[in-house]
Structure 1
Amino acid sequence: MTAQKVIIIGTGPAGYTAAIYTSRANLNPVVIEGNQPGGQLTTTTEVENFPGFPDGIMGPELMDNMRKQAERFGATFVSGSVTSVDLNQRPFRVVMDDSKEYLTESIIISTGASAKMLGTPGEKEMVGRGVSTCATCDGFFFRGKSILVIGGGDSAMEEATFLTKFASEVTIVHRRNELRASKVMQERARQNPKIKWILNVTPVRVVSDASKVNGLVVKDNQSGEERTVSTDGIFVAIGHTPNTGFLGNQVEIDDRGYIVTKDQSTATSVEGVFACGDVVDSHYRQAITAAGSGCKAAMDVEKFLEGSMFHDWLLQTTT
């Protein structure tokens, strides 16, 4: 079995950008697409904050364009997901869900982080049509609307506060009377006159007319009674789960499950393995920042495969 120069695990803006750059560097990357080719942007509608598209572009179209651009320069795309990797020695071994195996001199991980969902009826069907997991991405579409934010942590407080720039009213819905958010974030939200509160309730189901969200049925945790809260949109802000399970703890991750990279680079704790996009980013989680880190990962891989130049460069960035 001939070892590849580089295998990119995952797509989305980070993986596709890494594929474009490694292809142009004549590294002939093999890109393993995962169970959601194109990543989370394929579930969105119009993207208005990606540079270069003054009139916006549909998320699936943007991802398809990136894929075609990488193919143009010679990237090879493989359908399926990675079930395990062996990073104990080079070449690394990558095992697919169809039992196909690849050997590779280097790996770029761009598997992203999946937004945690409620799992309530009607939620999945209305993603992109009133249900969202990204206030920065979709808040603009809810100007003058009444919306709900579900969650009680810092992310929920931050998203709710951000959404008040657009919405006429934002209501935070949480299953407990107490919030998990820091005191500072709670106080900021409570002082915002546009933010309302519905606490100690459990979301039951999303109400819609198939084209848009109309409300959310919640159950009072004390009385057990159900009621419908009218709304134009629902933002689920209960956290993200980095997609790193297939790594088997062979690279360093932080206490939230995100891959740790060395300062000023995309290098992980395993020499020859790099990571980019939302699998390393718990803060920004934007298409443009993911694309930028994909570019960095590709350039880091190129330096690594050239040999000692990479080690000298990495030493300079970490001292």
Structure 2
Amino acid sequence: MREKKREQYDVVIIGGGAAGLTAGIYCGRARLKTLIIEKALVGGLATYTNEIANFPGFPEPLPGLDLMNLFKKQAEGFGVKFKGTDVKSVNFEGDVKIVETFRNIFEAKAVIVAAGGRPRVTTAKNEEKYLFDKGISFCATCDAAANTDKTVMVIGSGDAAIEEGMFLTKFAKKVIVSVIHDEGKMDCNEIAREQALSNPKMEFKWNTLADSFEGEEQLERVVLKNLKTGELDPVAVDTCFEFIGYLPNTEIFENILKLSKQKYVITNERMETGIPGVFAAGDVREKELKQVSTAVGDGAIAGVGSEKYIAETEMFEKQIMQKEKVGLIYVYSAINAPSRELLPVLQETAESYDGKIKMNVIDLYKGKTLCDRLSCDIEPMTIFYTKNGEVSAVSTDCSTPAVKKQLDALLA
């Protein structure tokens, strides 16, 4: 078997949707060597949306494909590279992250997981023929305006299905809802249920599920099957909206990243996954709203976070944990008067060794990630002593005699 080719990058981004492209723009602009890996169409699910009318800066609606092409062009302008392939496995354990595809092994200092997801589908007959731009949609916010004064169907009765269905009534003349339960029973919250049942534009087909989708080039009918009688009911619609769940593309990250019960990646507000140097952004992560605009925000934060992580890693290795001299690292709290006042005293002590001591100062709050690398959560003051790039001692006794005793021992 032919050996896989190895390539090195500063940042590898898994997924080329809105989040991944935005992260790529930020990383490329920071002059980081960046690669975006996308197994399908660059732009992700947004490319299947006929009209995007709620993305800031574009007064006129434009096709999702056009908007995503603008994202891609901007990323390419900053030197971002693209690879159209599927990621087979990842290894995030070491300082060098490994992303493996069928033919390549990519090594990166940081990785951004922006793998997105896919809507859960009914698997009814002919469904794949009408997915996305042929009559089946998964986003009412995206396609509601295009269905003004038309008849649409909503499949599902959870919170998302019913709330999106009510939103569609602002545009469509009729919204037909297919529900698998008995009359009056839904999976949504009680307030949404009552509002939907009292909405004159909403019609319900109880005890039904989609049996097949029919039409020439575009969807014309959804054939519903009654779960109790087996009767088939062809319903003429212009568009069918499916809201029966969403599946994040996280299979290869199980037992590697922390996932929610629904298999979304769990991050903090800085898009950090809990593994240093690994971030997640966009629809793949656990969050409330999944839209192009929120994906862009996620991607921007992850891109900036990656840049900061790489810069801090370099500074930590080359400056803070340097091997040339005995090191004194003072971690202090700038808002704590005693620790702040001790800073010039320690600097004077270090200078008294005529260049034999390398002193670094870290503000506990501004340099929190650096403190995390030192496993330091003690405040208001802690001193780390290093030799040959390794921590030799840690002490909260920052008095001049104690500091001199430690330094003299390391220099002996």
Q: Does the alignment pair 1:184 with 2:188?
A: no
- Kindly provide the CA deviation profile for residues 61-119 of structure 1, in whole angstroms up to 9, marking residues without a partner as x: 221221111111110111101111111222111111x1421111110011112111112
Query: Structure 1's 197 and 298: CA in aligned 2 closer, same or farther, altered over 3 A?
Result: same
Paired residue type of 1:109: V
CA distance in structure 2 between the aligned counterparts of 1:56 and 1:171, rounded to whole angstroms:
26
Q: Which residue of 2 aligns with 1:29?
A: 34
Paired residue type of 2:114: S
Query: Structure 1's 310 and 279: CA in aligned 2 closer, same or farther, altered over 3 A?
Result: farther
* RMSD of aligned alpha carbons: 2.1
- Secondary structure of the residue aligned to 2:241 is strand
Q: Does the alignment pair 1:9 with 2:14?
A: yes
TM-score (norm 1): 0.92
Asked if 2 retains the 8 angstrom alpha-carbon contact of 1:3 and 1:91, the reply is: no
Residue 111 of structure 2: which of 103, 107, 114 is its match? 107
Q: Does the alignment pair 1:172 with 2:181?
A: no
- Kindly provide the CA deviation profile for residues 278-317 of structure 1, in whole angstroms up to 9, marking residues without a partner as x: 111543211111112111110111111111699955859x
Q: Does the alignment pair 1:204 with 2:208?
A: no
Q: What's the % identity of the aligned pairs?
A: 33
Gaps of 5+ in 2: 1-5, 317-361, 370-376, 378-412
Paired residue type of 1:303: K
Query: Structure 1's 274 and 63: CA in aligned 2 closer, same or farther, altered over 3 A?
Result: same
- Secondary structure of the residue aligned to 2:195 is helix
Of stretches 305-314 and 267-276 in structure 1, the one that deviates more from structure 2 is 305-314
Asked if 2 retains the 8 angstrom alpha-carbon contact of 1:9 and 1:34, the reply is: no
Q: Which residue of 2 aligns with 1:249?
A: 255
- Larger Rg over CA atoms: 2
- Kindly provide the CA deviation profile for residues 151-189 of structure 1, in whole angstroms up to 9, marking residues without a partner as x: 121111111111111111111102222422222332232
Offset at residue 10 of structure 1 (A): 0.2
Q: Does the alignment pair 1:221 with 2:227?
A: yes
Asked if 2 retains the 8 angstrom alpha-carbon contact of 1:275 and 1:297, the reply is: yes
Query: Structure 1's 258 and 203: CA in aligned 2 closer, same or farther, altered over 3 A?
Result: same
Paired residue type of 2:207: N
Of stretches 246-255 and 44-53 in structure 1, the one that deviates more from structure 2 is 44-53
Offset at residue 20 of structure 1 (A): 0.7
Offset at residue 207 of structure 1 (A): 2.0
Query: Structure 1's 311 and 157: CA in aligned 2 closer, same or farther, altered over 3 A?
Result: farther
- Kindly provide the CA deviation profile for residues 232-263 of structure 1, in whole angstroms up to 9, marking residues without a partner as x: 2110000101111111321111111111111x
Q: Does the alignment pair 1:258 with 2:264?
A: yes
CA distance in structure 2 between the aligned counterparts of 1:237 and 1:47, rounded to whole angstroms:
19
CA distance in structure 2 between the aligned counterparts of 1:10 and 1:237, rounded to whole angstroms:
23
Count matched residues. 314
Q: Which residue of 1 aligns with 2:297?
A: 292
Offset at residue 60 of structure 1 (A): 1.4
Q: Does the alignment pair 1:20 with 2:33?
A: no
Asked if 1 retains the 8 angstrom alpha-carbon contact of 2:260 and 2:286, the reply is: no
Residue 231 of structure 1: which of 237, 254, 269 is its match? 237
